[in-house]
Structure 1
């Protein structure tokens, strides 16, 4: 398997599992795949963060509002990688309860990744809801 194939495998397994857990109320897997090195940032559909402490707080608050994730999928539009940097652009399709109310929604998501110690980590996320 080449580097590009390994990266995509990580996106569709570890990253997707962490996102699914987040929408099921558990932010620990998402925090685990995010970089521990600055800079990190989120320009989110519901919360923003510009450093690791804000990021952890944002993930905790979001996780507390989500539960009962019955569906998560990621439709990749584009990606590229260059050495230890990569990005993805795509649509996240989610079915989960938010504040106890079942919802189905789609997010446009762009993420930037760094390879740190041989492992891919998320360094930046921008997502917005499609009306």
Structure 2
């Protein structure tokens, strides 16, 4: 398996599972796939963070608002791997309960990844909610 195939496999398994867990109320898997090395940043649809401590707090607050995720799908528009850096750009489609109310939404999400000693890690996320999209 080459670098691109290995990365894409990680995205559709570990990353997708962590995101689904987040929308089901469990921030633990998402924290695990993020780098523990600075810099890490989130420019999120609902919250932002500019270091690891803030990132953990943001993930915990967000997870506490979600439960009962019945669907999560990642539709990649573009992605690439260059050495120890990679990126993805795409739509996340989610069906979950948010603050006690059933919700369906799409997020446009761009993420940057760094290959570290123990594998790929997310280092940046920029996401925004969209009512449009493909």
TM-score range, shorter chain: over 0.9
After TM superposition, where is structure 1 displaced by more than 6 Å over at least 4 residues in a row? none
Distance 1:76 1:39 in 2: 25
The whole-number CA distance in structure 1 between the counterparts of 2:118 and 2:104 is 35
Residue of structure 1 equivalent to 2:11? 11
- How many correspondences in the alignment? 131
Q: Cα deviations across residues 44-90 of structure 1 (Å, max 9, x unaligned)?
A: 00000000000000000000000000000000000011110000000
SS of 1:38's partner is coil
User: Secondary structure of the equivalent of 2:104?
Assistant: strand
TM-score (norm 2): 0.97
SS at 1:15 equivalent = helix
For 2:3 and 2:86, the matched residues in 1 are separated by: 11
SS of 1:26's equivalent in the other structure is coil
Quote the offset at 1:118 in angstroms: 4.2
Structure 2, unaligned stretches of length 5 or more?
A: none
Equivalent runs, 1:18-97 vs 2, <5 Å: 18-97=18-97
Q: Which runs of 5+ in 1 are unaligned?
A: none
Q: TM-score, normalised by structure 1?
A: 0.99
Distance in 1, matches of 2:84 and 2:7, equals 11
Deviation at 1:110, TM superposition (A): 0.1
